[in-house]
Amino acid sequence: MSTTGDESTTPAPTETAPSLGHPGAVADPDGTTALHFGDPFAEQRAAESGSALVDRSDREFVVLTGPERLTWLEGFISQHVSELAAGESTRSLILDANGRVEHSFGVYVTDDSVILDTAAGRAQALFEFLDKMVFWSDVTPRLAPELALLTVVGPAAASALDSRDDAAAPASTDWLIARRARRGSAGHTGEDVIVDRAQLAQAWTALAEASSAVMGRWGFDALRVMELVPDEADLDEKTIPHEVPAWIGDVAAGGAVHLDKGCYRGQETVSRVHNLGRAPRALVRLLLDGSEDELPGAGAEVKAGTRTVGRLGTTVHHHELGPVALALVKRNVGADVALTVSDGAASIDPDSLPDDTGTQAGREAIKRLREG
């Protein structure tokens, strides 16, 4: 059962983001949401110690309905979702035949639908892929511009949301549709909240009151870099799942790739890397020298001498470490290697290097066979 009519061309919402009307708001370069509210470093500190609300209403959504929605989705994504119950959530990927990432998205299960959220500008392509995969299954994908996303980050994020549920009258939280725990390299880092876009302003006000602070994209990106959580700017057409350690794991671990899941497109690459080798690159955190007037942009080359060894992603000023960035770099580049980005010095934060001390199961099995 496939969608019909003009659903596939539903335009993205164009109303003003709620954060731009908040006192002290400074718009990000695209003018879509707030970059900060006057003191981006104070916002980061508040998020690290309590909770901070972030406007991410530029995210886009696809909704799946129909009785076979979960078992159908299970057949071609990287996470195990067929047994998720209403109220549960996870992340997942869609890979190409070579195991490269085509789509990254959140998965939220409600009583009557599955909600997928993805980066701004990506929902149309995700919808078109899903629509082509329907065939005879009883499922209907559609674009969902009526939804919006807000995020509360910090160790007190869950309690801030729970306090709204406990203290408010039911009618005052009608905007809450679903929520999902965010996880990074240090575990739980916050909560993503899907709301009714028609009530986005009310949701923003309510969550701002419940949170320790409001925070712009500057602070959100800085904390995301510290947690090694990528967005679209940090990926390229060659990215495979094992290059992003935070993606590897089941639902309980907060991952996007279940290593024991059944067959799906690109799964051969996932299994081969897990059992027999290591990814050619790794997502790491770079420390930049900050001597340039402007930070280098996403896509800039990371070099060791004259040799290109990686690709730069998100760059931002952190309140303690100064200029930091995410980058995909070759696996054999260590923290002791002097790097440059756009003629500025850089180095890999050793705390961000993946743990390569373990032995892959496949290699151990081959060794036993040879020795036997």
Whole-angstrom distance, CA of residue 308 vs CA of residue 327: 12
Tokens found for residue 333? 């580049």
How many of the other CB atoms lie within 10 Å of CB of 321? 15
Q: Report whether pLDDT(315) > 80.
A: yes
Q: 52-55 and 213-215: which strand pairing?
A: parallel
State the angle between helix axes of 40-49 and 217-226 in degrees (0 to 180), rounded to the nearest 10.
50
* CA atoms within 13 Å, Cβ hemisphere of 189: 22
Nearest CA to 125 among 109, 105, 97?
A: 105
Q: Report whether pLDDT(193) > 90.
A: yes
pTM for this structure? 0.89
The conformational region for residue 24 under phi > 0 = left, psi -120 to 50 = alpha, else beta, is left
The DSSP output letter for 136 is T
Q: Report whether pLDDT(176) > 90.
A: no
Q: Report whether pLDDT(181) > 90.
A: no
How many of the other CB atoms lie within 10 Å of CB of 14? 6
The DSSP output letter for 164 is H
Q: Contact 153/17 with Cβ under 8 angstroms?
A: no
Instruction: Render pLDDT for 232-247 as a digit per residue (tens, 0 to 9).
Output: 999 999 999 999 999 9
Instruction: Render pLDDT for 230-285 as a digit per residue (tens, 0 to 9).
Output: 999 999 999 999 999 999 999 999 999 999 987 899 999 999 999 888 899 999 99
